[in-house]
Amino acid sequence: MLFKFLGQQIGNLFLYPANQPIPKTPSDYGISYRDVEFKTRDGLMLSGWLLNEGGIATIIMTHFGYRANRFGYQTKHQGLVKPYDQEIEFVKVAKQLVDVGYTVLMYDLRNHGESGKSKLGVGTGGVEESQDVIAAVEFIGSQSDKPIGLLSYCMGANATFYAQGDNPEVFTHNNVQALVAMQPLTNGEFLRKQGFGKRIERHAENHYRKMTGYSLDHPILDHVEKVITPTLLLQGYRDVSTNMDFIRALYDRLSAEKKMYWMEETIHRFDGYN
């Protein structure tokens, strides 16, 4: 019973993201923006910011999920599990893009920030969140025919791979020309690196599958093979949360134009997000 209980609690960490507040807006960083909303194909309303309208192209930033939102990640709202001791402010990244002339869309994934709740109401590691990426691309595509680039973090990268694998025509039709995928990682790969043992892992898998209908090890590599957008894959070389063989396999399976960049200087996984 103890192993089952522990497995369920670990599974819940993946399932129920903490709904962190959004303490600042782009105007606090000196960036012009407007609030936007757009709807997914399954009827959810997503909330976001559109920064520096009229830029040379638009970068769509998709955050990493689980205890984050479009603003970033606040350590004081980490909950009982406290993996990191520094604030992550995605607007600081966006400002660098704005400063060289890009428009930037920042938005909250489903079940995060100010976006709508899905019917399941839980995280799915990028599977259902892929619909949010599609909605963001279609929203920007409806505003302009200028090129689109994708900057997708962790679960956001998973979601982008799923979206491209299932709906490649959305990306070609809307002039998506580049993807930067930052440290993609499945829940199953993450869990195994924590060293809880097979029995706890099995109970976590059973609980997660019961709640979502999906496995912790969703078949992301099969979708990666279908990615059509030129892709830069980034990974912290000393990230102890990641199975590097998984990253290498993911890179090998990418069939689009691609480049691998190993971040040698980062120590913690979240350093890469900063």
Domain ranges within the chain, ordered by starting residue: 2-273
How far are the Cα atoms of 9, 92, 192, 206 from residue 213, in angstroms, in the given order? Answer: 17, 37, 20, 10
What is the reported pLDDT for 244?
93
**Average pLDDT of the chain to the nearest whole number:** 91
Residue 81 has pLDDT above 80, yes or no: no
pLDDT at residue 96 tops 90: yes
| Arithmetic mean of pLDDT, 169-177 | 97
Confidence band for 79, pLDDT divided at 50, 70 and 90: low
Beta bridge partners of residue 39, listed in sequence order: 45
Give me the mean pLDDT over the 147-161 stretch: 97
Which of 33-42, 58-67, 215-224 has the highest average model confidence (pLDDT)? 33-42
Would you say residue 67 has pLDDT above 90? no
- How does DSSP classify residue 116? P
For residue 233, the model assigns a pLDDT of 98
Q: What is the mean pLDDT of residues 30-59?
A: 97
Would you state the pLDDT for residue 156? 96
Mean pLDDT for 3-27 is 80
Q: Is the pLDDT of residue 158 over 90?
A: yes
Mean pLDDT of 12-41: 90
Q: What is the pLDDT of residue 3?
A: 64
> 172 φ, ψ to 5°?
-70, -40
**What's the confidence (pLDDT) of residue 272?**
86
| Gap between the Cα atoms of 196 and 243, Å rounded | 15
- Report DSSP letters for 231-250, one per residue: EEEEEETT-TTS-HHHHHHH
CATH of domain 2-273: 3.40.50.1820
Provide mean pLDDT across the span 88-112. 96
Residue 80's pLDDT is 64
Q: Are strands 58-62 and 148-153 parallel, antiparallel or unpaired?
A: parallel
| Cα atoms in the Cβ-side hemisphere of radius 13 Å centred on 223 | 21
pLDDT interval class at 197 (50, 70, 90): confident
The answer on pLDDT for 153 being more than 70 is yes
Task: Report residue 60's pLDDT band, with 50, 70 and 90 as the boundaries.
Answer: very high
